[in-house]
Chains A and B, each alone.
Chain A
C-alpha cells in the first residue's frame, strides 16, 4: 500500500446501544485485512471503540472517518450533540456524565477519553457546546515514532 491512501466512513447513531461497536469492529477487520501490525490494530481498535461509545452515549448522531496513509492511521469521530463544556474536566479519569444505561453496559466510568489518549500518539478535541464534537486521533505505523513526530 505504498503511497496509497485509504479512506472509509462509518455512521454512528446516538443512543443505539445494540449497534454500539459495529464501526470499531469493521475498522479492526479492515486493518487486519490490510496486514497492519497487531499492536497497531489493537490500539486503533481500543481508541475507535471508546470514540464510538462516546457518540452512542453522549451525542445524537455522528460519523467515524478512518484514513490510512503510509505513515499513520488517522481517525476522526465527529458528532452532532451537546458538545463538551470543559475539555480539561472531561479528560479527567473518573469524570462522567453517562447515564445508568451506559454504566450497565460496562462503560461510563469516565475512562474513555483518557484511554483514547493513552492508546494513541496524538489526540485533539474540537467542540462547541450545543453543536457537537470532533475528536481526532492518530496512530503512527512506523516504529520510529519520535522521528515522525518531529
Chain B
C-alpha cells in the first residue's frame, strides 16, 4: 500500500500542504494509480473514462497554477505532486486547503518520477502495471 509518506521518501519530496492532516486522518489514504499530465483537459478526459476510486489517483504535473487544484477538485483527486521543484503559489495552496487536496514538491523530473512509481508497481489510469 503506497501512502503519502512512502511517496515523500521515494520522490525525495517535500510536503507543501498536508490536507489529510487537516482532516485528522493523516497517513490513512493510499494511492495505487498515477496520472502524469500537464494538460488539464487531458486529465479531465482521462478521468471521465476512469471508473474506479478517484481518491486512489495521484497527479504528477509540471503545472503549478490554481487551475491544477480546481481540476483535481472536479474529479476528486486528493494528491498533487509538482515535479522539478515547481512551487505552488499562495493562491494555489489556499485553494488546495479548501478542496482538501494534499500538495508535494519533488526535485525530480516528470520522467524520473514516472519511472520510480512504475517500478513501485503503481498503475496508470487504465490499470496497466509493471509485469516483471
| Chain A residues within 8 Å of B, Cβ to Cβ | 17-18, 20-21, 24-25, 28, 39, 42-43, 45-46, 49-50, 104-107, 109, 111-112, 114-115, 118-119
Contact = CB atoms under 8 A, between A and B. Distances in A.
Nearest to B66: A18
B65 A105 contact: yes
Contacts, number: 76
B48 A106 contact: no
Given A25-B73, A106-B39, 18 more contacts: A17-B67, A28-B73, A42-B48, A42-B54, A42-B74, A42-B76, A45-B74, A45-B75, A46-B44, A46-B48, A105-B40, A105-B67, A106-B40, A106-B67, A109-B39, A111-B44, A114-B45, A118-B48
A115 B70 contact: no
A112 to B, nearest CB: 6
Nearest to A52: B70
Contacts of A45: 74-75
Nearest to B74: A45
A46 B40 contact: no
